[in-house]
A and B are shown apart, each in its own frame.
Chain A
Amino acid sequence: MEVIVLGLNHKTAPIEIREKLSFSKSQISYAHKELTRDETIQEVMLLSTCNRVELFTVVTSVEKGVRALKEFLARFHHISLEILDNVSYCYTQKDAVRHLFRVACSLDSMVVGEPQILGQLKEAYNQALEDQSVGSWLVDLVEKSFHVAKKIRTETGICKNAVSISFAAVELAKKIFDKIEGKSVLLVGAGEMSELAARHLLSNGVKDIYVANRTHSRAEELALQFNGQVIPFASLKENLELMDIIITSTSAPHFVFHKEEIQKTLHRRKNRPLFFIDIAVPRNVDPSVSKCADVYVYDIDDLQMVVNSNLLERQKEAKYAEAIVERSVERFWDKMSSENVVPTIVELTQKVEAIRQQELKKAFSKLPNLSDADREVINCLALAITKKVLHDPICMLRKKSSSSNTSHYIQTAKELFNLDGFKRS
């Protein structure tokens, strides 16, 4: 009973190979069924995303298992085994458990803390359940990985800070206004990035969106999209005092907003803070605007800088996450190996062998005149008896080793043969 994971990801394989090796939904199902047909492979779950292909498996022997998996991948995707050897990694036992936990918690992702991978893992798991390719071991393992991922999400900040420019803008707005529900947003000019930022603001509770654009029809189109209002470009400045967040992205070659008018606006709005997100290049907001008190101006470079700091912050948090993963791996492994039948079988045979040796010694001391050949016959007789007696219980334990009530059988065997008592003496 060995756990192994064979996989490749964005760090080990270039995109040309990853796309060649990826599986579609129906192919995953086929792979689940095909692989479980192999006698060494007992359980399997296949995860295929644009950044990774991973086979999480429980096998009877590591060597045979790895070979079977590699041969399957090579055959299925018509790729040579040498290439596969170069781009793939293989973890066994505890390392395999650790790898799955790290993948689930998004510690192994391209951007640490991005949550998509957990959803993809859940999908793969459900597919494997449907295909009945996973048994008690993988079910326990994968469920545990979800649990660890959830714990890390709540206890560390690896998913916390924005790692895209448009999200960083929303995050900054929240650092200034706290709750952005009820704040008014003005979009000046239209562009992909400003639309994206507006959409994030909307999903964070902003209700009043205003749109101003030189081309009136485009403004109306956008306003319709966001359920907002159009403001004529000419009367832009008169309406400024209503706004809290202003996203600018016009292609104007000069500044659209200047310090003097902003100063006046501030006075009219009783110095309530004003947040400019200037996504345009060249910039739409005169940099000297940021000298006004209670006005914050972030251009595209500033936002990128925030994103970079956030990535660093995530990396710091990842250290705490790694520690949680390590503890969880240890705990999971201890639990699973205590439920493993092998130690019980070993103890059982040891105990019976000890009894056999002891009884043989007694018998030989009572029969000092035996020839060596006689002794050999008696020895064989004792061995045969103990082997035959033990055969059925051991087979039964092995057979139950992958069922859900393994621990029950282990406990029963220990009690019937008083193995704990034997270990103590």
Chain B
Amino acid sequence: MNVAFFLISLGCYFGAVSFHLISLINQRAWARQWGNLLTLSGFILHTLALTVRLWQSGHVPIANLHESLSFFGWAIILLYLLLEYRCKIPSLGAFVLPLALVFVFSASMLPKEIQPLIPALQSIWLGIHTTTSFGGYATFAFAFVAGIMYLIQENQLRSKKIGLFYYRLPSLEVLDDLIHKSLIFGFPLLTIGIITGSLWANTAWGSYWSWDPKETWALITWFIYAALVHARFTVGWRGRRSAYLAILGFCFVLFTFLGVNLLLKGLHSYA
């Protein structure tokens, strides 16, 4: 049941991405509207799939790689819909939805059966630690996408080659502001994610911090964003440098989330 919902929602996301890419090219309102309609339908089905899974398994569905990828994509789309509802940033959908689609699509390629929760994960902390961490990751995804869009637009304005994107992308200030807001929300979420993880580690493994690869990389990621937030508020780092750091930070997020699981062995390797 949850798998069926999940697969239909994946189909909706495919359609949504196509329409958003069409709207990026031809700038027609109908393409964007269809894109958003499909995103919303996909999101509702995806939410249903997650809810059914939560109800069937009895735990927050972020316990293996399929579930975390699916939840990651879901969180990005939730944030996108909220942003789209509130401020309608031009062409944002065409940039952020493909990213979400990559995660949801990879999730669909992995085993989707509900597995019984291993004893180490049976805890109330599971829900808190994973949702805050992934909430932070999803928010940083927006800083990443805004960073890319910023660099493209800034390049057009600086090189004075007025091209396709000059007309389609929002202004530099809007993009810089999006990076800023993503940091303001994402950084506390990541911090809470790490703190709750540490508290949970103390109850589950008997120590707050054991330099497991996941912990180490999460800390490195945290430092990058901390540096970015600090530079922004004190020295006034903005614009291009901010955009570069936001992109770099997200690469570390991806490595902490996926690279560590796939390449390194450690306490966090459940998937």
Chain A interface (Cβ within 8 Å of chain B)? 155, 157, 161, 172, 174-179, 270-273, 290, 293-294, 296, 298, 302, 305-306, 309-310, 313, 320
How many angstroms from the CA of A177 to the CA of B163 in the assembled complex?
Answer: 19
Given contacts A290-B158, A296-B157, A306-B162, contact A175 B171 (CB under 8 A): yes
Given contacts A178-B171, A271-B239, A273-B239, 19 further A-B contacts (CB under 8 A): A161-B167, A175-B171, A177-B171, A178-B172, A178-B173, A178-B174, A271-B237, A271-B238, A272-B238, A273-B172, A293-B241, A294-B238, A296-B157, A296-B158, A305-B160, A309-B166, A310-B162, A313-B167, A320-B28
Closest residue to B240 on the A side, CB-wise? A293
Q: Which chain B residues lie closer than 8 Å to A320 at the CB level?
A: 26, 28
The distance from the CB of A295 to the nearest CB of chain B, in whole angstroms, is: 9
Q: Which chain A residues lie closer than 8 Å to B162 at the CB level?
A: 305-306, 309-310
How many angstroms from the CA of A155 to the CA of B238 in the assembled complex?
Answer: 35
How many angstroms from the CA of A290 to the CA of B171 in the assembled complex?
Answer: 18
Q: Which chain A residues lie closer than 8 Å to B157 at the CB level?
A: 172, 175-176, 296
Given contacts A157-B27, A309-B162, contact A294 B167 (CB under 8 A): no
B236 within 8 Å of A (CB atoms): yes
Q: Which 7 A-B pairs have the closest CB atoms?
A: A270-B236, A178-B171, A309-B162, A178-B173, A271-B236, A294-B239, A175-B171
Name B165-184 residues within 8 Å CB distance of A. Answer: 166-167, 170-174
Q: Report whether A270 and B167 are in contact in the complex, using a CB–CB cutoff of 8 Å.
A: no
25 contacts between A and B (CB under 8 A): A174-B171, A175-B153, A175-B157, A175-B166, A175-B171, A176-B157, A178-B171, A178-B174, A270-B235, A270-B236, A270-B238, A271-B236, A271-B237, A272-B236, A290-B158, A294-B238, A294-B239, A296-B158, A298-B160, A305-B162, A306-B160, A309-B163, A309-B166, A320-B26, A320-B28
Q: Report whether B167 and A302 are in contact in the complex, using a CB–CB cutoff of 8 Å.
A: no
How many angstroms from the CA of A175 to the CA of B157 in the assembled complex?
Answer: 8
Q: Report whether B173 and A176 are in contact in the complex, using a CB–CB cutoff of 8 Å.
A: yes
The distance from the CB of A48 to the nearest CB of chain B, in whole angstroms, is: 35
The CB with the most chain B CB atoms within 10 A, among A174, A179, A270, A320, is that of: A270
Instruction: Tally A-B pairs: CB < 8 A.
Output: 60
Closest residue to A174 on the B side, CB-wise? B171
How many angstroms from the CA of A144 to the CA of B21 in the assembled complex?
Answer: 33
How many angstroms from the CA of A179 to the CA of B240 in the assembled complex?
Answer: 20
Annotate B150-165 by CB proximity to A: 1 below 8 A, 0 otherwise.
0001000110101100
The distance from the CB of A360 to the nearest CB of chain B, in whole angstroms, is: 60
Q: Which chain A residues lie closer than 8 Å to B241 at the CB level?
A: 293
Q: Which chain A residues lie closer than 8 Å to B166 at the CB level?
A: 175, 309
B29 within 8 Å of A (CB atoms): yes
Closest residue to B170 on the A side, CB-wise? A178
Q: Report whether A294 and B29 are in contact in the complex, using a CB–CB cutoff of 8 Å.
A: no
Q: Which chain B residues lie closer than 8 Å to A273 at the CB level?
A: 172-173, 239
Annotate B213-245 by CB proximity to A: 1 below 8 A, 0 otherwise.
000000000000000000000011111110000
Q: Which chain B residues lie closer than 8 Å to A157 at the CB level?
A: 27, 167
Given contacts A155-B29, A296-B158, contact A176 B172 (CB under 8 A): yes
Q: Which chain A residues lie closer than 8 Å to B167 at the CB level?
A: 157, 161, 313
The distance from the CB of B251 to the nearest CB of chain A, in whole angstroms, is: 22
Partner of B240 from A176, A177, A270, A294 at Cβ < 8 Å: A294
The distance from the CB of A266 to the nearest CB of chain B, in whole angstroms, is: 9
